[in-house]
Amino acid sequence: MTVAEAVVAGLRGPELGRRLASLLGPEKVLWRPEDLQLYEYDGAVDTATPDAVVLPNGTADVASLARFCSEHHVPIVPRGAGTGLSGGAIPVFGGVVVSFARMNRIFEIDAANLRAVAQPGVINLHLSTAAAPYGLHFVPDPSSQKACTLGGNVAENSGGPHTLAYGVTTDHVTGLEVVLSDGTIVRLGGKALEDEGYDLVGAFVGCEGTLGMVTEMTLKLTPLPEDKRTIMAAFPDMDRASEAVSAIIGAGIVPAAIELMDQLATEAVEAAVGAGYPLDAGGILLAEVDGVREGLDDQRERIETICREHGATTVRVATTALDRERLWAGRKGAFAAMGRLTPDYYVQDGVIPRTRLPAILRLVRDVGERYGLRIANVFHAGDGNLHPLILFDMSHGPDELRRVQEAGFEILEACVAAGGSLTGEHGVGMEKNCYMPLQFGPADLAAMERLRSAWDPAGLMNPGKLFPTPSRCAEFDLRKRRS
């Protein structure tokens, strides 16, 4: 039975909500229309309405729900804080959205073993706050870390500015408790690093909820650095700023973070945050080195020298913790600041080799000019993870959104053609599943689908995500687009 057939055959509508309320308790189930509207969307542009929403208190609730949904052919869509940017939490086929908002406990901070055990609803920043008294923190720090949850980070394999030197989420997860679509509870990994056998933890991190639901995580904690140096450099244009990034990495310096934003993004950030970025700069570079205090000033001076050699007009070093926080508040508040410029934006998430930054940024600019759209650029320059924000107004109608999506596709196509990939940290979701053939051949996709089927034979876990689906991708023909 296909997912579409299962949906037709499965339990739907208000009756599903009433049955779930009887199973789990009415306080854990939402099924009235006015409640369901709150779960129709995430941070992307697509929407769809669930038949019911379940807010479990623990693993037992999740397992009971999964068994019920398996028996009645009901799709299950896991949801964290709804901050995702690829439609990963959108119930494409209806069914049940599982919100992990109430599963928000940190069970353990094991400082001796540099581990934490937590539930998926814990907010990212709260884990680092809890670990700070032990001199530890959780490295992955998405810009939405004040709101996004650890479960969502695991599902999307999230990154953040400070993962350049330390790795993204998958490098900081050592164990998972998972509920499969038939209600089976399995444990993968633990506190120890496992080097033998299949890396099943690695398979689940970044699976976007298509293999099962994570109900508990064992996470790697990292000692807080002894000290930091944060540098802001302003450049006349993005070409010179991008070339400085390649030169810094080429000189053997691997900062903890190195970020770029263009003038349009800077205008929005300064209006919203007042981070102190020069408004006349074509490009703003933020770099941070951390670690043992001895030697940091040498790295800072080398970065300053490289920036000046590549045309930086202003170079400033944060002299206090407050100054450092102010500089980073600008970068981390950049997406939210776009509201100063436009009612809506559509963000892409392609990855390219660092050396191709100037060429692809010029292409992004050209795409914006051809489509008559403003595009702001804010991105993780150190690993070539672009985040072009295409500004538009949804009230102009569906044709406006289609135009924006066409522009986004051209940017992603260029990223893949440059030797990059469709996504760095926002996931594929339902936003880019039709684009997967840009990067993967039929044999590659078939191998991934076999892995998914091994864990979820009925295809009920977050259907309509990651893989191209006939219902949404029938009109998307790469051959026609390339002709």
Beta carbons within 8 Å of 75's beta carbon, 6+ residues apart: 3, 6, 7, 10, 69, 91, 93, 94, 95, 96, 460, 461, 462, 463
* Apex 264 CA angle, 318 and 267, nearest 5: 55
Map out the domains of the chain as residue ranges.
Answer: 3-99, 106-223, 227-335, 342-454+474-482
Q: Are 242 and 357 in contact (CB under 8 A)?
A: yes
* CA Rg value for the chain: 23
d(CA 278, CA 272): 14
State the sign of the Cα–Cα–Cα–Cα dihedral 430, 436, 437, 442. Answer: negative
d(CA 77, CA 98): 6
Model pTM score = 0.94
What is the structure's pLDDT at 4? 54
**Residue 381 has what DSSP assignment?**
G
Angle between helix axes 357-371 and 238-250 (nearest 10 degrees) is 160
Report residue 326 CA to chain centroid gap.
Answer: 23
At residue 15, φ and ψ (nearest 5 deg) are: -60, -35
Does the domain at 3-99 match CATH 3.30.565.10? Answer given as no
Question: In the structure encoding, which two tokens stand for residue 56, read together?
Answer: 């479990």
State the sign of the Cα–Cα–Cα–Cα dihedral 99, 103, 104, 110. Answer: negative
Question: In the structure encoding, which two tokens stand for residue 143, read together?
Answer: 């810009």
Would you tell me which CATH number, out of the four given (3.30.1330.30, 3.40.50.300, 3.30.465.10, 3.30.565.10), belongs to the domain 106-223? 3.30.465.10
What is the structure's pLDDT at 235? 98
342-454+474-482 and 3-99 share a CATH fold: no
Q: Are 389 and 338 in contact (CB under 8 A)?
A: yes
Q: Are 251 and 306 in contact (CB under 8 A)?
A: yes
d(CA 392, CA 401): 8
Domain at 227-335: CATH code: 3.30.70.2190
Q: How far apart are the first and last CA of the chain?
A: 36
Quick check: helix, strand or coil at residue 125? helix
d(CA 396, CA 148): 30
What is the structure's pLDDT at 130? 98
Quick check: helix, strand or coil at residue 345? strand
What is the structure's pLDDT at 118? 98
Does the domain at 342-454+474-482 match CATH 3.30.70.2740? Answer given as yes
What is the structure's pLDDT at 196? 83
Which pLDDT tens digits describe the chain residue by residue (483 residues)?
Answer: 555 555 556 788 899 999 999 999 999 999 999 999 999 999 999 999 999 999 999 999 999 999 999 999 999 999 999 999 999 999 999 999 999 999 999 999 999 999 999 999 999 999 999 999 999 999 999 999 999 999 999 999 999 999 999 999 999 999 999 999 999 999 999 999 877 889 999 999 999 999 999 999 999 999 999 999 999 999 999 999 999 999 999 999 999 999 999 999 999 999 999 999 999 999 999 999 999 999 999 999 999 999 999 999 999 999 999 999 999 999 999 999 999 999 999 999 999 999 999 999 999 999 999 999 999 999 999 999 999 999 999 999 889 999 999 999 999 999 999 999 999 999 999 999 999 999 999 999 999 999 999 999 999 999 999 999 887 887 676 655 555
Burial of 193 (0-12, 13-18, 19+ CB in 10 A): exposed
Quick check: helix, strand or coil at residue 5? helix
